[in-house]
Structure formats: C-alpha cells, structure tokens
Amino acid sequence: DQQVKQNSPSLSVQEGRISILNCDYTNSMFDYFLWYKKYPAEGPTFLISISSIKDKNEDGRFTVFLNKSAKHLSLHIVPSQPGDSAVYFCAAHNQGGKLIFGQGTELSVKP
C-alpha cells in the first residue's frame, strides 16, 4: 500500500527552465509534507516543507504547492541549475511522527 507516490521516476530539464516534480498521497490525515534531495550513496537532505493548512511555501528558487482536495503536491524549482541534479523524495508526516516516502524522482538538469 503505497501511501505516497511519485509517478515519474525521472525528469530532464534544460538549465534555466522550471523543474516541476509531482507527488500524490492517499491519506488525508497527513499533517505535513516535506521534500528531500538525495545524491547517490548519501542520506537525504531536507529541502522544503509545507503544513497541511497551507497551500504554498516558497524558499528562494524552491516552491512547494499543496492541493489538499486532489491530495497532490508539487515542487517547483526555478530557474533550474545543473547542481540541482539529484533524486528528489517527497515525504509525508503522519500523526504518529513517522515519515512516509515516495519512490523518488531523478532530476537531471542539462547545461
């Protein structure tokens, strides 16, 4: 039972353009959502988060949008840079204090 889904395993974007990474979830009781960036053979690093009571959170080039009715969130990176190339994981925080991760999307930003 995959409660958090990232249906695109990979995404390729030109440098300077917008990257949009998508995430869907099934449990309406999740109260917080997070995006992590991960390089091979390293642990995830926190990128940005959003509370379930908000619909948008922005931090520099990164913006996360939450659509609760659709149970969908997205991460926008603009402008995309080659250093953004990594695997991005969406995670949902449940009321038990646990993080439920999606499968990840590998972003490749080409110069």
Partner 1 sequence: GAVVSQHPSRVICKSGTSVKIECRSLDFQATTMFWYRQFPKQSLMLMATSNEGSKATYEQGVEKDKFLINHASLTLSTLTVTSAHPEDSSFYICSARDRRKFSTDTQYFGPGTRLTVL
Q: What are the strands, taking DSSP E only, across the chain?
A: 4-5, 10-14, 19-25, 32-38, 45-51, 56-59, 62-67, 72-77, 86-93, 99-101, 105-110
32 part of the interface to partner 1, by CB under 8 A = yes
| 104 near partner 1, judged by CB under 8 A | yes
Six-digit token pair at 9? 């395993």
Smallest separation (angstroms) from partner 1 to the CB of 95: 11
41 binds partner 1 (CB under 8 A): yes
Q: Does 20 bind partner 1 (CB under 8 A)?
A: no
* Location of structure tokens 């309406």: 28
Closest CA to 62 of 50, 71, 72: 50
Q: What minimum distance in Å lies between the beta carbon of 22 and partner 1?
A: 15
Binding site for partner 1 (CB under 8 A): 2, 4, 9, 31-32, 34, 36, 41-46, 49, 89, 93, 97-104
